[in-house]
Structure 1
Amino acid sequence: MKTVSLYRPVGEKEMILIAESNYKKFPPRLEWQPIFYPVLNESYASEIAEKWNTRDEAGNYLGFVTKFEVKEEFIDQYPVQNVGTRRHNELWVPSEKLENFNDAIVGNIEVIKVFIGEEFTKAGSPELEILMLNIEKTNHDQ
């Protein structure tokens, strides 16, 4: 079985829900979110997490970059959407297909980066505090 690495920038609320799923799935979209859009490269996910999530009060000024593997045969049904420069590529998965998408994830959703906005004060859960410390330590060690 072939898999493809995908990335998704998320704020604190979505990160908490991912952690509650034991890092196995992404939470359902809100009613005003018609698509789920994982991105195709880490640099684009990092750009969103750093430039958007860290300025978003609803996400507690935190931006997490997640990485995960998805069965290639599943994602082949969704054409790549370019939304900017050459590296701004996303898959647009209709919200109603998110459960199928989650079923196509192989392994766990991994957090590879965290960005902390200037207005951040405290994480919304002890698990996130630990996660943030571990990710920051990993980033500084590299």
Structure 2
Amino acid sequence: MTETVTLWRPTGPEELKLVEDSGWKVWPPRLPEQPIFYPVTTEEYAIKIASDWNVRASGSGYVTRFEVRKDYLDKYEVQLAGGKEHAEYWIPAEELDDFNDAIVGKIEVTRSYPE
């Protein structure tokens, strides 16, 4: 059996629609101003971003959960964005296709804001 790591991603409605259009299988390519794709390591951190930042920026925010092959993620170090509770992976935009290939199963929405 393939060992996986559970990751979360806070997202807004536009990105979520693109994920839905993919059959809940892949993250869309980054925009030119988005050089990094950053999934986070805890649901709590994803909730904070989705409920605070995504709602403010686009009127709604979503928390997604998905599994990624551990052997793929092992080549990346967990990054801390301000504190130990803000742990995330930094996936360069040009490596997103490989990251998407390492997703096991489907991307699912676990929370939405406003509730």
Shared topology, TM-score over 0.5? yes
SS in 2 for 1:87: coil
TM-score, length-normalised on structure 1? 0.79
Quick one: percent identity of the two aligned structures?
Answer: 50
Question: What pairs up with 1:24-35 in 2 under 5 angstroms?
Answer: 24-35=25-36
2:82 to 84, 96, 99: 84
Alignment of 1:1-142 (within 5 A): 1-56=2-57, 59=58, 61-116=59-114
Give the partner amino acid of 2:74: D
Q: Deviations over 1:18-47 (max 9, x none)?
A: 000010000000011110000000000000
Pick the structure with greater CA Rg.
1
**Structure 2 segments unaligned to the other structure (5+ residues):** none
Give the helix-richer structure, 1 or 2.
1
For CA contacts below 8 A with separation 6 or more, give which structure has more relative contact order.
2
Count of equivalent residues: 114
Question: What is the alpha-carbon distance in structure 2 between the residues aligned to residue 51 and residue 39 of structure 1?
Answer: 15
Deviation at residue 86 of structure 1 after TM alignment: 1.6
| Stretches of structure 1 lacking an aligned partner (at least 5 in a row) | 117-135, 137-142
